[in-house]
Structure 1
Amino acid sequence: MTSIITTSAEAAHSLAVSLLSKAQIQPGATIPEHPVKETTPTSSAPLTFSGKSVIVGVPGAFSGTCTVQIPGYINNYDKFKAKGVNEVYVVAVNDVFAMKAWKEHLAPTGTGVRFMADDKGTFTSALGLMFDATPKFGAPRSKRYVIIAENDKVESIFIEEDPSQATITRAETVLSHLT
């Protein structure tokens, strides 16, 4: 009986995750306006875009691959700016406290890279980039992706097939796509 209930609960959870995500956003699409948080639990606002921006979506603050990937963006921030990027955002389905602590851990002397908490996953879901990460993280999380945007329009998008890897979403790879 327990296995039937467990199987049913897992099936319902997978269905709920699939319903959360729409079709994946594509080049030319407008980035949806859904609130994220940067400084406090009550300071939510949509991301703002002016000129070229880079949005780096990761499955989780402090997780292994994410903690290896994001220093590339911090260390190459000036190179992104030199390529005309106005903002570099790191977005994860985490709370604002985790994102602030992770930023302080990765950049104790500060960085221009902005760490954004999508605590309810509404921004990530609207992008169609949520996946069922329950086995590892206990809940749905963001796929590993990078969006290069001009104002609020997607210019390019790179999505890792395996979210435990950072290959096409590495800072150095993304820099090579910027003109």
Structure 2
Amino acid sequence: MTPSHTLATPNPNSSKTPLISFSSLQPNWNHHHFTMATTTAPKLTSSLSSIYTSRLRQTPTPRTSSLALASSFSTPLCVNYHRTTLKPRSSSSLSLSISAKISVGDKLPEATLSYFPPEGDLTTVTVSELTKGKKAVLFAVPGAFTPTCSQKHLPGFVEKAGELHAKGVDTIACVSVNDAFVMKAWKEKLGFGDEVLLLSDGNGEFTKALGVELDLRDNPVGLGVRSRRYALLADDGVVKVLNLEEGGAFTTSSAEDMLKAL
């Protein structure tokens, strides 16, 4: 807003003219304006005087100490301003903006997974049932039948299952955002036994609870939302080791990496 001001005609008989002093600002916070006091100073030249007869835009700052502005006129000046209230971001919006990630020391979130046992029908198991009182290695792949998962990640844990058990691991399970029928067909295709339990996180419930979603909806083959690749060791449901990859990379989540961490 343009400040309002009143200009007085200079006194030609006076050797001194008023001085506008910012140090003499008297703030009135209740009425949201400042009142400008005046003192005296030597006359300005007529050219400088004409500058200050134009409309003024001043932004007074209470912290200004001894700044003085000379003028050839007396200027009772009232500065009006608008306060802007900055609203802090709410805690709920903050929590939405920050993606939760599982970390060492955390309790695994509860979720229901499904699988086909060697001889039997579709079965479900909760994460707590899978890990209670046990040392469990869980590793995740972005998708069944995909190249790296089929050629390296899963076969590596099948091959090293004996060594992992020798290190005290009770359960080894592979998790993927695929349905249980796909996981069963994948196991049959690869032709291994019961070394690794293949678990279906069909709706991505467990993956979302961990905060490790991998968005592949823009992938040319339309894989949708899957899981980032990882391998973790949980002792009685508490994460002790976590090797979490960036996206679908395969650099730190192998069976060999888990053996080194045990």
TM-score by length of 1: 0.81
Instruction: Indicate which of 51, 59, 63 corresponds to 2:142.
Output: 59
Deviation at 1:65, TM superposition (A): 1.1
Aligned partner of 2:231: which letter?
A: V
Q: Distance in 2 between matches of 1:140 and 1:132?
A: 4
**1:53/1:148 contact within 8 Å kept:** yes
Instruction: Indicate which of 236, 240, 243 corresponds to 1:151.
Output: 236
Which residue in the other structure is 1:13 paired with?
Answer: none
- Relative CO higher for 1 or 2, CA cutoff 8 Å, sep ≥ 6? 1
Q: Distance in 2 between matches of 1:109 and 1:130?
A: 28
**1:149/1:156 contact within 8 Å kept:** yes
Instruction: Give the number of the structure whose alpha-carbon radius of gyration is greater.
Output: 2
Q: Distance in 2 between matches of 1:138 and 1:62?
A: 12
Which residue in the other structure is 1:166 paired with?
Answer: 250
Deviation at 1:74, TM superposition (A): 0.3
Which residue in the other structure is 2:125 paired with?
Answer: 45
Aligned partner of 1:144: which letter?
A: R
Structure 1 residue runs of 5 or longer lacking an equivalent are: 1-18
TM-score by length of 2: 0.56
Q: Distance in 2 between matches of 1:105 and 1:138?
A: 20
Between Structure 1 and Structure 2, which shows a larger proportion of helix residues? 1
Which residue in the other structure is 1:81 paired with?
Answer: 165
Q: Cα RMSD over matched residues?
A: 1.9
Instruction: Indicate which of 106, 111, 119 corresponds to 1:29.
Output: 106
Deviation at 1:25, TM superposition (A): 0.7
Q: Distance in 2 between matches of 1:82 and 1:135?
A: 42
Instruction: Indicate which of 204, 213, 231 corresponds to 1:121.
Output: 204
Match of 1:55, SS state, is: strand
Divergent runs of 4+, >4 A: none
Q: Distance in 2 between matches of 1:111 and 1:72?
A: 14
Aligned partner of 1:94: which letter?
A: N
CA shift digits 1:129-173 (9 cap, x unpaired): 11211133431000001111111000111111241x311011111
**1:22/1:126 contact within 8 Å kept:** no
Q: Distance in 2 between matches of 1:45 and 1:70?
A: 21
Which residue in the other structure is 1:92 paired with?
Answer: 176
Which residue in the other structure is 1:103 paired with?
Answer: 187
CA shift digits 1:60-82 (9 cap, x unpaired): 00001111211010011100100
Which residue in the other structure is 2:13 paired with?
Answer: none
- Give the number of aligned pairs: 157
Deviation at 1:41, TM superposition (A): 8.4
Match of 2:231, SS state, is: strand
